[in-house]
Amino acid sequence: MTVEIVVVDDHKIVQDGLCSLIEGLNGYTVTGRADNGRDAIAIALRLAPDIVIMDLSMPEMNGIDATSSIIREMPDCKVIILSMYSDKRFIIGALQAGASGFLLKECAFGELSQALEAVGNNQTYLSPKIAGTVVHDYRRRLVAQNNGNSLTTKEREVLQLIAEGYSTREIADKLFVSVKAIEGRRKKITTKLKISSLAGLVKYAIREKLTEL
């Protein structure tokens, strides 16, 4: 089965290069072209391609807004965004719009076949040069969400032992610290989690996969 692709880019030399590369790949064919976001939407709705390769910056309508419109009307269509910029705002914006891939133009020709294969298998493909940007932003968001209330490694260790039925003295002996230190950590745990009962702590530990009890 041949995968049908629409190529969208306002620079003809890039458009021609992409089309030539795609036609040289086994199992893929270019069924349509466009040089702006509005035409891209119309052509995609008319041809119903499997994949749209979409430039980010174009006249009349940008690639992110065009992607959002296409995905809204055709949820099964995959869109790979092409961009000269690795700014995380564009990357996150493209993914939020429903894009399945994001390629930097400087890497596009070398990575396109990998991206096509990945999105064709319902995976997300990001150029290695920008994957780190997305991971960094994701970690930053997690920290912001936790707002300083996440448990430390030592607190998680104590919580696991509490959930497994060890007494404060037994936990202190296992961790080679004083009973007072364990009591202090337990107080921090209950404050952070806003859970005061033993049953509640055990349920939390099980839910977080700290123990299988």
Reported as a single tens digit per residue, the pLDDT across 133-145 is: 777 666 666 665 5
H/E segment holding residue 143 = helix 128-146
Burial class (CB in 10 A: 0-12, 13-18, 19+), 70: buried
In the chain, ranges of CATH 3.40.50.2300 domains: 3-127
In the chain, ranges of CATH 1.10.10.10 domains: 153-207
Q: What is the pLDDT of residue 144?
A: 57
Check whether 1 has a pLDDT greater than 90.
no
What CATH number is given for 153-207 in this structure? Answer: 1.10.10.10
Q: What is the pLDDT of residue 153?
A: 84
- Domain 3-127 belongs to what architecture? 3-Layer(aba) Sandwich (3.40)
Query: In angstroms, what CA-CA distances link 4 with 11, 15, 104?
Result: 21, 16, 22
Q: pTM higher than 0.75 for the full model?
A: no
